[in-house]
Amino acid sequence: HARRLEGIDKNIWVEFTQLAADYQAVNLGQGFPDFAPPKFLQEAFCKAVSGGGLMHQYTRAFGHPSLVTILAQLFGRLVGHEIQPLEDVLVTIGAYQALFCTFQALVDEGDEVIIIEPFFDCYQPMVKMAGGKQVYMPLRPRGGSNLSSGDWVLCAEELASKFTAKTKAIVINTPNNPTGKVYKTEELQVIADLCIKHDVVCISDEVYEWLTYDGAKHVKIASLAGMWERTVTIGSAGKTFSATGLKVGWAIGPSRLIKHLKTVHQNSIYHCPTAAQVAVAEGFQTEYDRLGHPESYFQQLPTLFTHKRNKLAACLEIAGLRPTLPEGGYFMIADISSVSFDSDDSISQDEPLDYRFVKWLIKKKGLAAIPVSAFYSPEHGKEVQNYVRFCFTKVEEKGLQLIRHRYVSL
């Protein structure tokens, strides 16, 4: 095998999704809604697949014209910068491939990439495969009760100390997976100032951009002064329309950067499935015309998820798992330090506490979650092994009942 694959063969989703399936556990681990996407999206998809020959054939390499056009229109409005659909947008196989193209296109052997912890796990192997060196910058709990994801903060001086002459890029993720942190403008400004000062690219993973709660506001770092020119913003139709199986994503940024992502894309994937792109384009058109109105899905979904979030938090509290209330996204982390559990012989004692807890939870209680140290570098994972992550974008009954009754009573 190629050397660049060394040390990255394990994958948390492969491992825990399989374990959850083996034990037929209720899956509050992997992040996807277990309910149908909105009718208008389903109908758009049906229409696309039944829509004659062209929808079943190749299309433009870098994105179907209808999709890049509406993405440019919508995001141009949000960022406050005119976006050229054919130059500044690349449609990808989910946000995953947008991330992969970005790292492959922009990171060279020996370049340093700053990754803010906790981070969506794939950033680490993707930087490695590009030959880059990961430099980790942990968010730190503010101290005190840490009951909101907003209590996880970046230390500006510490972040500044991570920038060197070799720094090529910084990856941020807001709303964050797994904490739910939604970066405030002031926090983004600290990052932006450092990017500008050191001529660094910002890779901004915003797949949960429409999902913020309790008045938290999603801010695009590309909208800050001087940042459009140096930011690649990544999004996901799967998260936007509760249809994670669609695997339509995108990268948006200045053509001087996006053109290199296109080189990776044209030589690996070439283009994404046509019908799925057309369906997403139509979904966005529907939303564009009613943006900010109560009937907008982008208004309704956060309301639904706020309700689900609050219910899960209440259940976790009853079970003695102290939740940190997320301001955005799909997930909630919870502190497991005050619960005792007996991990048996099938669970290695060498594993971190959160891994052992989740394996026990799946095998003995029929409930799947994800250990939070999986979202950290090996160096820093030890500091967070008291946390596990739950996904709350699920039909409530099964998971909540398990936590409330089965877990609590044993």
* 132 vs 249 by CB, closer to ligand PMP: 249
By the rule CB under 6 A, 370 interacts with ligand PMP: no
Q: Stretches 93-101, 164-172, 283-291, 307-315: which one binds ligand PMP (CB under 6 A)?
A: 93-101
Q: Is 235 exposed, middle or buried (0-12, 13-18, 19+ CB in 10 A)?
A: buried
* 118 vs 254 by CB, closer to ligand GLN: 118
Helix (H) or strand (E) holding 347: none
Region at 315 (left for phi over 0; alpha for psi -120 to 50; beta for the rest): alpha
Q: How many CB atoms lie within 10 A of CB 159?
A: 17
What's the closest the beta carbon of residue 246 comes to ligand GLN, in angstroms?
A: 13
Cα 254 from Cα 98, distance rounded (Å): 15
By the rule CB under 6 A, 238 interacts with ligand PMP: yes
- Residue 69 interacts, among ligand PMP, ligand GLN, none and using kind-specific CB cut-offs from 5 to 8 Å, with none
* 31 vs 352 by CB, closer to ligand GLN: 31
- Residue 94 interacts, among ligand GLN, ligand PMP, none and using kind-specific CB cut-offs from 5 to 8 Å, with ligand PMP
CB under 8 A, 24+ apart: contacts of 292-295: none
Residues 6 or more apart whose CB falls under 8 angstroms from that of 117 comprise 136, 137, 138, 139, 375, 376, 377, 380
Count of residues touching ligand PMP (by CB under 6 A): 14
By the rule CB under 6 A, 34 interacts with ligand GLN: no
With CB under 6 A as the contact rule, the residue among 27, 92, 124, 177 that binds ligand GLN is 177
Token pair of 247 as six digits: 């695997």
Instruction: Compute the residue count for the chain.
Output: 410
Region at 110 (left for phi over 0; alpha for psi -120 to 50; beta for the rest): left
Q: Stretches 91-99, 129-137, 159-167, 359-367: which one binds ligand PMP (CB under 6 A)?
A: 91-99
DSSP-assigned letter for residue 322: E
With CB under 6 A as the contact rule, the residue among 26, 31, 137, 172 that binds ligand GLN is 31
Contact track, ligand PMP, 192-211, x by CB under 6 A:
-------------x-x----
Q: What are phi and psi of 184, to 5 degrees?
A: -85, 160
By the rule CB under 6 A, 249 interacts with ligand PMP: yes
By the rule CB under 6 A, 176 interacts with ligand GLN: no
- Count the alpha carbons within 13 Å of 140 in the hemisphere toward its beta carbon: 11
What is the pairing mode between strands 201-205 and 231-236? parallel
- Residue 30 interacts, among ligand GLN, ligand PMP, none and using kind-specific CB cut-offs from 5 to 8 Å, with ligand GLN
* 69 vs 244 by CB, closer to ligand PMP: 244
- Residue 183 interacts, among ligand PMP, ligand GLN, none and using kind-specific CB cut-offs from 5 to 8 Å, with none
With CB under 6 A as the contact rule, the residue among 15, 19, 23, 30 that binds ligand GLN is 30
Residues 6 or more apart whose CB falls under 8 angstroms from that of 121 comprise 11, 12, 13, 374, 375
Using CB under 6 A as the criterion, which residues of the chain lie in contact with ligand PMP when the complex forms? Answer: 31, 94-96, 120, 173, 177, 205, 207, 236, 238-239, 244, 249
Using CB under 6 A as the criterion, which residues of the chain lie in contact with ligand GLN when the complex forms? Answer: 13, 30-31, 177
